[in-house]
Structure 1
Amino acid sequence: MRALLVVNPAATTTSARTRDVLIHALASDLKLDVATTEYRGHARDLARQAAESGTYELVVALGGDGTVNEVVNGLLHDGPAPDALPRLAVVPGGSTNVFARALGLPNDVVEATGALLDALRDGSERTVGLGLAGGTPGTRDEAVPARWFTFCAGFGFDAGVVGRVEQHRERGKRSTHALYVRQVVRQYLSEPHRRNGVITLNRPGEDPVEELVLSIVCNTSPYTYLGNRPLYASPEASFDTALDVLGLTKLSTSAVARYGTQLVTSTPERGPRGKHVVSGHDLTDFTLQSQVPLPFQMDGDHLGLRTSVTFTGVRRALRVIV
């Protein structure tokens, strides 16, 4: 089997020596070509070239969730075609690795490589659904190109936290879970809309849900991790269904304490709940609109400010080795 390994040399939890060992291990079972990313978006470009060349059966992403997101967008540049596109494999090298862990892969790079080789020998794979998000026609964001995401997107508060973390990383700080927690607190203290939400959820055939303060869109569950603790914002979300959405209509101090505790103690059967919680399951098409520009993120990548985002849940979009 011919495969392309896309390596992010800046991956948080891998060293040059570790990468060399992993490349040697993969090359023992695959006809392996290796490409190292050199700029933001390079993994997307490499994966697109691999898909268009027709010479690769497999593309392996070695890096964090951002690298995986770029590879997925490269593979799906011309749309989903599971039987025609190369399969995707992931070796986690980031700080959180939500997509890989949601697939049931080990979070350790060496163990994950061993599991990948075992899966290839056994022919073990699954076809997963993905989310697609883009600008909404008739709004200031209509020219924003559609982009795929693998596990979650956030519009508003959640994305503001991601943006703060990225700013600290650009200044040289490590992406740690303690850093995320600090930025959650700071985002809350500076959030101007925490008592009067400005987000509206629009679903075909249903009344709009207005005044949301927070909105998280999930393609799988858990939607992220706090250290080794999984957080289940939408426990029913799955790679086998369309998208789930969680919204909150209030972020007072008491509401934050209540729903924050529910999120930290959430389980695969029980997530945040209460009179200020809005949720939707297995949604194929919906839109989140805001009265003012708000931060937007996908798969932990801050994408700037938007006033409107249209979401599409696409079942059976891509084959993945597991």
Structure 2
Amino acid sequence: MRVMLVTNPFATFTTDAGRDTLANTLSSRYDVDVEHTTHRGHAGELGARAAAEGYDAVVVHGGDGTVNEVVNGLVGAPDRPDPVPSDRLPAVGVVPGGSANVFARALGIDRDPIVATKQLIDILDSNSRRPISLGHTLNRWFLFNSGMGMDAIVVRRMEAKRKAGKRATPQRYLATTVSSFFSSTVNPPSFTVEVPDHAPVTGVRFGFVSNTGPWTYLGTKAIRTNPTTDFDHGLGVFAATSVSVARNLILGGKLLADSDDPKASHLFRDDDVEWVKFSGSKPADVQMDGDYLGEYSEMTFGCRRAVIDVAAPVSSPATP
């Protein structure tokens, strides 16, 4: 089996020793080419090369952003005229190395790199792979979620802290989220959310579109905004018309309590739709798979089934 191992040396929780151990472990069993990313977009270039050169699998050791880049390079743009069937592309495996690792954990991959490596080897040895859906917007694929408004503001503020040399820890994410809601200077513009067979939802202050669940993790705690959204069905949408601290603390409590049907008077939610449209008179902050994209006034989200094959457990309970 020919495997490309893509590692991000700048990921939050990767080390030289860990990367070397992973490379040596995989090389003892497979024909492995090790590639270290050196710049933004490099992982996408490597994914495209893996597809063009016919690798059997691409293993990514890094965070969600690195995996997103690899997958976008591997598959090509959503509007490409000649999409390649998932079974003719390399399977994608992940050994977590980031701070949240939402995609890997949603697939049932353990967040401990040693345990995850054993899982991956067992799956590759059995030649087991399964197709999953991907979401798309702005002619890019997203693996697990995209959002407009407050969550994107939090991502933007976190990226600024990381550039200042601070680590992206769960505690720092929580503190940044809380401070964003409390700050009088943070005031995201409102926008409208449209989905099939439903009247437009106006006055939305922040919205998430999910391709699977959980939406994210707070340490070991899975946060499920759309409990029945998964890699085999449509998109989940979670849109709130208020940034009131009191109202969202109550809603947040329901999410922390693992409600299987989180509800609030200021919340619109649907767990299985084919498309979602966000539109507003003013541009708002946008994130995709935890990566800040900038400001947009209009976005349309779609979902496509069986876009890539993953080297992951057949069923995908979210791991702690």
TM-score (norm 2): 0.92
Query: Which range moved further: 206-215 or 79-88?
Result: 79-88
Q: Does structure 1 residue 63 correspond to structure 2 residue 55?
A: no
CA distance in 1, matches of 2:279, 2:247: 23
Find the aligned partners of 1:282 and 1:254 in 2 and give their Cα distance: 28
Match of 1:278 among 268, 272, 287: 268
**What is the alpha-carbon distance in structure 1 between the residues aligned to residue 271 and residue 14 of structure 2?**
36
Structure 1 distance, partners of 2:217, 2:134, is 19
Runs of 4+ in 1 over 4 A off after TM superposition: none
Give the 5 Å matches for 1:241-256: 241-256=233-248
RMSD: 1.3
Gap regions ≥5 residues in structure 2: 313-320
Confirm or deny: 8 A CA contact 1:80 1:318 kept in the other structure: no
1:102 corresponding residue in structure 2: 106
Deviation at 1:80, TM superposition (A): 5.2
How far did residue 254 of structure 1 move? 1.8
Give how far 1:203 is off: 2.4
Match of 2:247, SS?
A: helix
Alignment of 1:77-88 (within 5 A): 77=76, 78=80, 79=83, 81-88=85-92
**What displacement does 1:242 show?**
1.6
Alignment counterpart, residue 171 of structure 1, candidates 161, 164, 176: 164
What do residues 292-321 of structure 1 show as CA deviations (whole Å, max 9, x unaligned)?
Answer: 111000100000111011101111111000
The one-letter code matched in structure 2 to 1:21 is T
Question: CA contact under 8 A between 1:130 and 1:242: conserved in structure 2?
Answer: no
Which deviates more, 310-319 or 77-86? 77-86
Residue by residue over 1:61-108, the C-alpha shift from the partner in whole angstroms, topping out at 9 and shown as x without a partner, is 110101100011011115452121111111111111010000111101
Gaps of 5+ in 1: 135-145
1:91-138 deviation digits (Å, cap 9, x = unpaired): 11111101000011110111111110011112222211110011xxxx
Q: Deviations over 1:25-80 (max 9, x none)?
A: 10111111111100011000110111122x31111111010110001101111545
Query: TM-score scaled to structure 1, two decimals?
Result: 0.91
Q: Percentage identity across aligned positions?
A: 40
- Residues 1:33 and 2:33 are matched in the alignment: yes
Q: Which residue identity lines up with residue 128 of structure 1 in the other structure?
A: I
Alignment-derived partner of residue 315 in structure 2: none
Return the letter of the residue paired with 2:308.
L
C-alpha distance in structure 2 between counterparts of 1:279 and 1:246, whole Å = 5
Does structure 2 retain, via aligned residues, the 8 Å contact 1:219–1:242? yes
Structure-1 separation of matches of 2:174 and 2:46: 34
CA distance in 2, matches of 1:106, 1:235: 20
What's the offset of the Cα at 1:252? Answer: 1.6
- Counterpart in the other structure of 2:115: 111
2:280 to 287, 290, 299: 290
Q: Give the AA of the match of 2:47.
A: A
- 1:185 and 2:178 correspond: yes
SS of residue in 2 equivalent to 1:83: helix
Instruction: Encode CA deviations 1:156-213: one digit per residue, 9 max, x unaligned.
Output: 11100010000000110000111111211222123325xxx61111224532111111
* Partners of 1:287 and 1:308 within 8 A in 2: yes
**Residue in 2 that maps onto 1:301:** 291
Q: What corresponds to 1:156 in structure 2?
A: 149
Match in the other structure for 1:313: 303
When residues 152 and 33 of structure 1 are mapped into structure 2, their CA distance, relative to the original with a 3 A threshold, is: same
